[in-house]
């Protein structure tokens, strides 16, 4: 997996989604489902693609169904 810790990945995703939805990262609930964050599926795929590039790994889009929150996805991808 990646060399980033899950907390670092969570922060990265929150910051990235916050930019897309024009909110402060602190307003992006890491426990909310991606569908509740105000980001559409196309934008979410963009986030996933950028995250894959950031972590230098391949991430299957199906991972979003198995890990539907920022916290769950970060734990899945993190090194801790």
Span 26-70, pLDDT tens digits: 999 999 999 999 999 999 999 999 999 999 999 999 999 999 999
With 90 as the cut, is the pLDDT of residue 73 above it? yes
Residue 1, pLDDT above cutoff 90: no
Q: What is the pTM of this model?
A: 0.93
Q: Are 55 and 4 in contact (CB under 8 A)?
A: yes
């Amino acid at each position: 997996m990646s060399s980033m810790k899950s907390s670092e990945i969570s922060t990265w995703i929150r910051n990235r989604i916050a930019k897309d939805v024009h909110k402060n990262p602190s307003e992006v609930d890491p426990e909310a489902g991606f569908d509740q964050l105000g980001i559409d599926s196309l934008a979410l795929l963009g986030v996933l693609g950028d995250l894959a590039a950031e972590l230098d790994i391949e991430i299957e889009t199906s991972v979003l169904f198995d890990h539907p929150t920022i916290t769950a996805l970060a734990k899945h991808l993190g090194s801790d």
